[in-house]
Amino acid sequence: MFKNYLIIIGVLFANLTFAQNETDTLSMDWEAYDPPSTLVVPETIITRAKFPFIDVHSHQWRMDEMDLNDLIEPMDKMNMGIMNNLSGRNGEKLKKMTDNIKKQFPNRFIVFANIELRSINEADWAEETVKQLEYDFKNGAKGLKIYKSQGMTNEDSEGNRIRIDDPRIDPVWAKCGELGIPVLIHSADPKSFWEPHDNQNERWLELKTHPRRKRTATNPASWEQIISEQHNIFKKHPKTNFIAAHFGWYPNDLTKLGQLLDEMPNMYVEIGAIISELGRQPRAANRFFEKYQDRVLFGKDSWKPKEYPTYFRVLESDDEYFPYYKRYHAFWKMYGLALPDHILKKLYYKNALNIIPGLDKSLFPED
């Protein structure tokens, strides 16, 4: 009899444990639900780009003092010909960077200068900033980088947000055109950051994990306002080439982006941090690259060598249904674009060689 009781108790305990586990599974939230796909499809691991490429969007804060061999080794492994450091600062800091490059690898690294807008209320700001830009250009700067803070969070001495199309900055844009150097400009962020943080927001998880990215129409301004300020300077300065970072934040609306490129011939875009958007619309993205193959440059943004193969896989392979490396950026799967060689070459290096002066063309195929 006692044994029977033990058996019954054991069965009840097992059933209770199973029920509890099942309840835990059923109550699991969607963030934890991330099963591997059962789809059996080819997987192409591409650790080295098919052609040497120029990364126009990288950040290296210590390039004035670092041993550049630490960068060259991973660059060579992935077939990166030239890295563009957008964090060049200005003045003596930039000169130290370009001097360090000349001593070590003069043809493998370039630097874009930065300007300071917060002193824009000073009477001689425009004149002094143009002089600084000319000085930086003489010291090897190949372009100008404008951060998103310059148009979003930067304020003048009176506490006002500095609009990126503030007319006091016009001499700077004009000087870039005169010098023949491009402006790589990051304005705003994904539009979803300005939308309600609810179950209709595709960036819900990113905003939950990174709440400081949430914006409103008054913090600091509407998305449409900031983007229009960027486009205003493109239109006002047709002799200056502008590279809109992150596909100008229209990677999810390629029709609209195409219209903008048609409207503004001096506008270019780069693919930094938006490869997941291209990878989920392979047919539309292919049509876009075919039509605007002369207007797109390769960029990555953050310097994490292990992430580059995902870019190569999207651009070069015809793989199906594979993940992005940051789920909070993109919970969807991606598809390879299998871009033809003539477009890959333009994306990887030809377009950058055309608009960034003074690059070593011998690093790249002649055809």
Q: How confident is the model at residue 6 (pLDDT cuts 50, 70, 90)?
A: very low
Residue type, 210: H
Is the confidence at residue 19, as pLDDT, over 50?
Answer: no
Parent domain of 91: 52-363
Q: ∠214-301-73 over CA atoms, to 5°? A: 150
Q: What is the pLDDT of residues 23-66, one digit of tens each?
A: 455 677 767 888 888 999 999 999 999 999 999 999 999 999 99
Q: Is residue 9 part of a domain?
A: no
Q: Within a 10 A sphere around the Cβ of 66, how many other Cβ atoms?
A: 14
- Cβ neighbors of 46 (< 8 A, separation 6 or more) are 309, 312, 313, 316, 317
Tell me, yes or no, whether 25 lies in a domain: no
Q: Does residue 17 fall inside a structural domain? A: no
Amino acid at residue number 92: E
CA 84 from centre of chain: 13
**350 vs 24 pLDDT, higher one:** 350
CA distance 343 to 278: 15
**37 found inside a domain:** no
Instruction: Round to whole Å and give the CA distance between 315 and 309.
Output: 10
Q: State the average pLDDT for the chain.
A: 93
pLDDT greater than 50 at residue 106: yes
Q: What is the pLDDT of residues 225-254, one digit of tens each?
A: 999 999 999 999 999 999 999 999 999 999
**CATH number for the domain including 173?**
3.20.20.140
Dist CA 240 CA 169 (whole Å): 13
Instruction: Render pLDDT for 120-148 as a digit per residue (tens, 0 to 9).
Output: 999 999 999 999 999 999 999 999 999 99
Ramachandran quadrant class, 127 (left: phi over 0; alpha: psi -120 to 50; beta: rest): alpha
DSSP-assigned states of every residue in 332-343: SEE------HHH
In a domain, 32, yes or no: no
Residue 15 confidence (pLDDT): 53
Helix (H, G, I), strand (E, B) or coil at 58: strand
Answer yes or no: pTM beyond 0.85.
Answer: yes
Closest CA to 308 of 78, 109, 110: 78
pLDDT category of residue 299 using cuts at 50, 70 and 90: very high
**Position 309 pLDDT exceeds 70:** yes
> By percentage, how much of the chain surpasses pLDDT 70?
92
Q: How far apart are CA 78 and CA 75, in angstroms?
A: 5
Q: 5 vs 237, which has greater pLDDT?
A: 237
Asked whether the predicted pLDDT for residue 115 surpasses 70, the reply is: yes
The predicted pLDDT at position 223 comes to 97
- If pLDDT is split at 50, 70 and 90, which confidence band does 13 have? very low
Q: What is the pLDDT of residues 173-213, one digit of tens each?
A: 999 999 999 999 999 999 999 999 999 999 999 999 999 99
Structural domains in the chain (count): 1
Instruction: With cut-offs at 50, 70 and 90, classify the pLDDT of residue 16.
Output: very low
Tell me how far apart the alpha carbons of residues 97 and 107 are, in angstroms, rounded to a whole number: 13
**Residue 366: per-residue pLDDT:** 87
